[in-house]
Amino acid sequence: MDMSLGPVSSRTTIQDGVYQQLRQALMNGQFNPAQSLTIAGLAETFGTSNMPVREALRRLAAENALEIASNGSARVPVVTAARLDDLCRARIVVEALATELGAPRLTPKDLEVLKGIVSEQKEIGRDKNIYTLITKNQQFHFTIYRASGSDVLIQLIETLWLRFGPYMRMLSTHVAPLIRAGESEPSGRHIAIVEALESRDFARVREEIIADISATQEVLRPLCPE
């Protein structure tokens, strides 16, 4: 496991720290599909007792980010083409709505932030690691969604992205070489989105967001097993 899960800072509760780190790692695709996460094992890597870990795992299972095996162990869900399509269909309607609401409310400062992210993505794409790229992509999308002001939508989208984590892992392992070779331009669509935002063509922003999701879906589907 080449993930950087260090001991948690005990400013919040230990359980929360464990939860947040696991959640972020899952969303970024840092676990393998079907990987099994044991309470004792994680407790050791986090340097805590079993207690905080088991509650964190149950919380993640309640969000459908993990599955509970028949013996009670937690597992990262497996990836399938059907589930990918199911997730993307839901993502499209929810994120399209969040975009509709958020795009018109983006401040000039927000736009600067978005442009900053895009240029950082260009930088990073060439040399740095894929996880930073995934995080930047996350920041870009959620900057728009957060502007919607809808807590409900944001939480819905977060659980969808969480469940999308295992697919992100496929992206990491299979697409990273392409990006490095310059055959894939990860920020391409984001540039179009920023342009549409600047011309305040919100209908087009919405379409671009949908296209962004669909494009990822098309890239990932052939990579799914079977």
Partner DNA sequence: TCTGTGATCATTTGATCACAGATGCTATAA
Partner DNA sequence: TTATAGCATCTGTGATCAAATGATCACAGA
Residue 46 contacts residue 53 (beta carbons within 8 Å): yes
Angle between helices 81-102 and 130-146 (to 10 degrees): 50
To the nearest whole angstrom, how small is the minimum distance from the Cβ of residue 182 to a second copy? 34
Is 83 in contact with 124 (CB distance < 8 Å)? no
Identify the residue among 3, 34, 40, 152 touching a second copy (CB under 8 A): 152
Given a second copy, DNA, none, residue 159, with its beta carbon under 5 to 8 Å by kind, binds: a second copy
Examine residue 73 and tell whether it contacts DNA (CB under 7 A): yes
Q: State the minimum distance, in angstroms, from the CB of residue 164 to DNA.
A: 24
- Count of Cβ atoms closer than 10 Å to residue 30 Cβ: 21
SS3 36: strand
User: Of the listed pieces 35-43, 104-112, 150-158, 213-221, which binds a second copy according to CB under 8 A?
Assistant: 150-158
Nearest Cα neighbor of 138 from 176, 103, 164 is 164
Residues numbered 37 to 56 that lie near a second copy (CB under 8 A) are: 54-55
CB of 10 to DNA, least distance (A): 6
Q: Which does 14 bind (CB under 5 to 8 A by kind): DNA, a second copy, none?
A: DNA
DSSP string, 50-75: HHHHHHHHHHHHHTTSSEE-TTS-EE
**What is the contact surface with DNA in residues (CB under 7 A)?**
10-11, 13-15, 37-41, 48-52, 54-55, 58, 68-74
